[in-house]
Structure 1
Amino acid sequence: MAVPTCGVVIFVGYATLRPKVPQVSVTRAQMDTIYFDQSSLMMLHATIVIKAENDNTRAHARFYDMSYTLSFRSQKIAILMADPFDVRPNRSLELNFVVPSQSIPLNPEEVNAINWSLDRKVVDLDLRGMSRTRWKVWLIGSIKYVLHLDCQLHLPIDQTTIYPHCTSKK
Structure 2
Amino acid sequence: MPAVFKKKLETHRRQGRTNPLIWLAAILCTIIAIGVVIAGIVVFIAYLVIHPRVPVISISNAHLDLLRNDYAGLLQTQLTIIVRARNGNAKAHATFSDITFNISFQGQGIALLVADSFQVPKNSTKDLNYVVQSSSIPLTPDQMEKVDYSWKKNEIAFDFKGNARTQWRIGPVGSVKFLCRLNCQLKFHPLNGSYIPNRCTSKSK
TM-score (norm 2): 0.75
The offset of 1:54, in angstroms, is 0.5
Letter in 2 for 1:78: A
Task: Tell me if the contact between 2:81 and 2:131 (Cα under 8 Å) persists in the aligned partners.
Answer: yes
Letter in 2 for 1:64: S
The offset of 1:60, in angstroms, is 1.2
Letter in 1 for 2:106: R
Tell me, which stretches of 5 or more residues in structure 1 are unaligned? none
The offset of 1:72, in angstroms, is 0.5
CA distance in 1, matches of 2:46, 2:141: 59
Residues 47-56 or 160-169, more deviating: 160-169
The offset of 1:108, in angstroms, is 1.4
The equivalent of 2:98 in structure 1 is 65
State the SS of the aligned residue for 2:89.
coil
The equivalent of 1:27 in structure 2 is 60
- 5 Å-filtered alignment, 1:122-141, equals 122-138=155-171, 140-141=173-174
Tell me, which stretches of 5 or more residues in structure 2 are unaligned? 1-33
The offset of 1:80, in angstroms, is 1.5
The offset of 1:129, in angstroms, is 1.1
Q: Does 1:104 align with 2:141?
A: no
Cα-to-partner distance string for 1:111-168 (whole Å, 9 max, x where unaligned): 1111111111211110011111122123651222111000111111112233321101
Task: Tell me if the contact between 1:42 and 1:103 (Cα under 8 Å) persists in the aligned partners.
Answer: yes
The offset of 1:28, in angstroms, is 1.2
Residues 101-110 or 8-17, more deviating: 8-17
The equivalent of 2:197 in structure 1 is 163
What percent identity do the matched residue pairs reach? 36
The offset of 1:102, in angstroms, is 0.6
The equivalent of 1:55 in structure 2 is 88
Task: Tell me if the contact between 2:42 and 2:173 (Cα under 8 Å) persists in the aligned partners.
Answer: no
Structure possessing the higher radius of gyration over alpha carbons: 2
Q: Does 1:44 align with 2:94?
A: no
Identify the match of residue 116 of structure 2 among 83, 95, 102: 83
> 4+ runs of 1 displaced by more than 3 Å?
1-12
TM-score (norm 1): 0.90
State the SS of the aligned residue for 2:159.
strand
- Higher RCO (C-alpha under 8 Å, 6+ residues apart): 1
Greater fraction of residues in strand: 1
Greater fraction of residues in helix: 2
The offset of 1:19, in angstroms, is 2.8
The offset of 1:22, in angstroms, is 0.7
RMSD, matched Cα: 2.0
